[in-house]
Structure 1
Amino acid sequence: MTEDLLDAAAGRHGVLCARDAAAADVHPSTLASLVRTGRIVRVRRGAYVLSGPWHAAMPDARLALRTRAVLHARGVPGAATHQSALAVHALPVHAVPTTVVDATGPVSRNRTEAGLRLHPLASAPTVVDVDGCPTVDVATAVAQVLLRSGRTPGIVAADAALRRGTSVDALHAAVAALASTTHAAGRAGRMLATADPASESVGETLTRLLLRDQGWAVESQVRVADQGGHVVARVDLLVEGRVVVEFDGLVKYEGAQGRAALAAEKRREDALRALGYEVVRVVWSDLDRPGHVARSVRAALARAAGRPAAPRSARGDLDGRACSRRTG
């Protein structure tokens, strides 16, 4: 009986609830034993996740698992909202709590109880099914996060949503539908104007916002060409047309492949500098020191100002065979 219960959970993204256990004739004491022995993880009263998927998951994915488990355990009308919906849609969740599930439910006003924040059912105008989990649509989830949590969490989600195919119009329509005041709608609309579908990662989005806050013109995913028009690189960010800013995520330069990647990266940067560009690298820890990043870019701009202008560049994606692209 126990193995049947766990097998059934594996087919539901690893989630199960006390109701499933009862249906499988698994006694509550056995369910508690599964928690004690580490085979399942209790994420809320009556809601569980298989330990394998749970421990293998990053925070965003854990929020998706938690959300699926809680909604499955509740067994009443409701859908994931806000960052919980983003997680279920596999969109990035940044700078917001991941231990509280947001969902609609049969309540007349917002209510928070033991890791669950409930919103009235009417607050979810469009509900979709994401592999068995009822969830607000992507545009609504992004708008909810933007309106409640502000620019950075909202634009991280908006960039990813736009890149995946959600339209700008859909995001603006969702904001207009959800904003409680004209002022809130206008503020969120202005924030949405800074979103960029060209961003390829959370780190790139955060770096772009940091640079824009300094008042600089910033372009994402720019093709850099030499004097003959041959594209030599596609760079993460280009500041004021002169300084290349590259965000480095989990780049490893270990072993033979790592050494080859490092050598290729050096050749790429040498080619950019030979064309008159300055190159600044940003890593995750730098994002906690915006002043340091700003000083580095400011110094690079000053160095570039003393040299002839670099060749014109163009934004846009290219086939990887047509230009050098860092794989970090």
Structure 2
Amino acid sequence: MNSRVIAVMSTQWGLITRPQAIAAGMSAQQIDRLVNSGRWTAVRRGVYAETRYVDTLTSHAEQRMLADRAASLRMRHPHVMSHHSAAYALRLPVLREPDPTSHLTRPGIVGTHRRDGIAQHLAPYPPEQVCIVGGMSMLGLARTALDIVREHGYLAGLVAVDSAMRLGVTRRDLLEVARQMYCWPHSTVIRDVIASATPHTDSIGETLLRDSVESLGFGTPEVQFGLTADGRTVWCDVRLGRQIYEFDGKVKILAPVDGGYADRPATDVLWAEKGRQDFIAGFKLGVCRVTWGDVWGPGANLGRSRMLREYLATCERYGTDIADLAAYRPRGPRPRPQLRPPTYRIMGWERWAA
């Protein structure tokens, strides 16, 4: 590769198209030799990256971002990134798509055309909904979250909208975007999601947990239920009656180098968690520990059955009234945990995202 090729790749997230490489001085035979030798990888037909660079992108988000940018380079019409393709760049936590797709939105009539793993959404958008991230134009948080609602339905949309609200999007922002979609397909689902969404969940898992508990049919659960006594304050993920539901993700015990955020050995984390549960149970509250497999995937129905069983057992033992806990409720708002945006290794990302 000559310096002109390297310069193009460094400003395009490590990617270069075949015409760009030829314009920069490479021959078609040189390009083919690089691909056939394994030094270059064809991310999409006619779009290449260095294989050693592609191999460093191990997370799903990084791999999707590279594929989405390759799809964008192939597109001749003016467009913006949208849906999941915008969500990853915006660092918006979302559920994975069943069939990963590159989403590009173009002005024009409403509709979607899919081909070769690319979805072209011919949908209007006002200029104020567009933002620039990593040198690329994409739809902003509110529009992206609501597009995911229309694309994937209530639950995936609820996760996206909860995540957007955690990042600062207000219900008013969402309603303003929804107003522009009032006659679009699935707009009624958008209204349901906005009415149900909350900024108080701290993760995808907590959103799924809240929805599962609500589906038990015993009322709307309280999110982030606080208790304080003896100089200690804890905040519980979800409360229904006198039953507490806590979501346990493996990241709590993994070190940052392994993708988690534990700042001490796993044994210390687990011991502290045991003390926390003993503190909660001391108020005559049931505690149900829930993991990812209980709220998502094939085990969700079994997980919901266990949540119901534990709720009914707690009701029989302690009832549902929590009036006796009024004196132990924190007086101030819950301190918001510091969000930890994911670290992406897309070439040039930090320079553009700064």
TM-score normalised by length of structure 2 = 0.78
Partner of 1:266: 274
Partner of 2:18: 18
Q: Pick closer, same or farther for the CA change 1:48–1:100 going to 2, 3 Å.
A: farther
Greater shift in the superposed pair: 129-138 or 107-116: 107-116
Q: Pick closer, same or farther for the CA change 1:311–1:74 going to 2, 3 Å.
A: same
Which amino acid in the other structure matches residue 75 of structure 2?
R
Q: Secondary structure at the match of 1:92?
A: coil
Q: Cα deviation per residue 1:104-139 (whole Å; 9 max; x = unaligned)?
A: 347765322222222336356532211211111221
Given that 2:225 and 2:236 are in contact with CA atoms closer than 8 Å, whether structure 1 keeps it comes out as yes
Partner of 2:93: 92
Q: 1:197 is matched with which residue: 177, 196, 199?
A: 199
The unaligned stretches of length 5 or more in structure 2 are: 256-261, 338-354
Q: Which runs of 4+ in 1 moved over 6 A?
A: 253-256
Q: Pick closer, same or farther for the CA change 1:220–1:38 going to 2, 3 Å.
A: farther
Greater shift in the superposed pair: 41-50 or 256-265: 41-50
Given that 1:81 and 1:124 are in contact with CA atoms closer than 8 Å, whether structure 2 keeps it comes out as no
Which amino acid in the other structure matches residue 222 of structure 2?
E
Does 2:135 match 1:166? Answer: no
Partner of 1:213: 215
Aligned residues: CA RMSD: 3.0
Given that 2:94 and 2:163 are in contact with CA atoms closer than 8 Å, whether structure 1 keeps it comes out as no
In 2, Cα distance between the equivalents of 1:3 and 1:166? 43
Q: Secondary structure at the match of 2:248?
A: strand
In 2, Cα distance between the equivalents of 1:173 and 1:54? 42
Given that 1:54 and 1:62 are in contact with CA atoms closer than 8 Å, whether structure 2 keeps it comes out as no
Partner of 1:275: 283
Q: Pick closer, same or farther for the CA change 1:41–1:311 going to 2, 3 Å.
A: farther
Which amino acid in the other structure matches residue 274 of structure 2?
K
Q: Pick closer, same or farther for the CA change 1:304–1:212 going to 2, 3 Å.
A: same
Greater shift in the superposed pair: 213-222 or 101-110: 101-110
**Pairwise CA distance, 1:55:** 4.6
Residue pairs, 1:62-101, within 5 angstroms: 62-97=63-98, 99-101=100-102
Q: Pick closer, same or farther for the CA change 1:28–1:98 going to 2, 3 Å.
A: farther
Q: Pick closer, same or farther for the CA change 1:146–1:100 going to 2, 3 Å.
A: same
**Pairwise CA distance, 1:208:** 1.4
Given that 1:84 and 1:101 are in contact with CA atoms closer than 8 Å, whether structure 2 keeps it comes out as yes
Does 2:325 match 1:311? Answer: yes
Q: Secondary structure at the match of 1:84?
A: helix
TM-score normalised by length of structure 1 = 0.83
Q: Cα deviation per residue 1:217-260 (whole Å; 9 max; x = unaligned)?
A: 3222332223x6x4432222222343232332334379981111
Given that 1:112 and 1:118 are in contact with CA atoms closer than 8 Å, whether structure 2 keeps it comes out as yes
In 2, Cα distance between the equivalents of 1:199 and 1:35? 46
Q: Secondary structure at the match of 2:104?
A: strand
Q: 1:134 is matched with which residue: 127, 137, 151?
A: 137
Partner of 1:246: 247
In 2, Cα distance between the equivalents of 1:63 and 1:151? 23
Which amino acid in the other structure matches residue 223 of structure 2?
S
Q: 2:153 is matched with which residue: 150, 154, 162?
A: 150
In 1, Cα distance between the equivalents of 2:166 and 2:47? 33
Q: 1:224 is matched with which residue: 211, 214, 227?
A: 227
Q: Cα deviation per residue 1:250-284 (whole Å; 9 max; x = unaligned)?
A: 34379981111111111111111112222211112
In 1, Cα distance between the equivalents of 2:10 and 2:39? 12
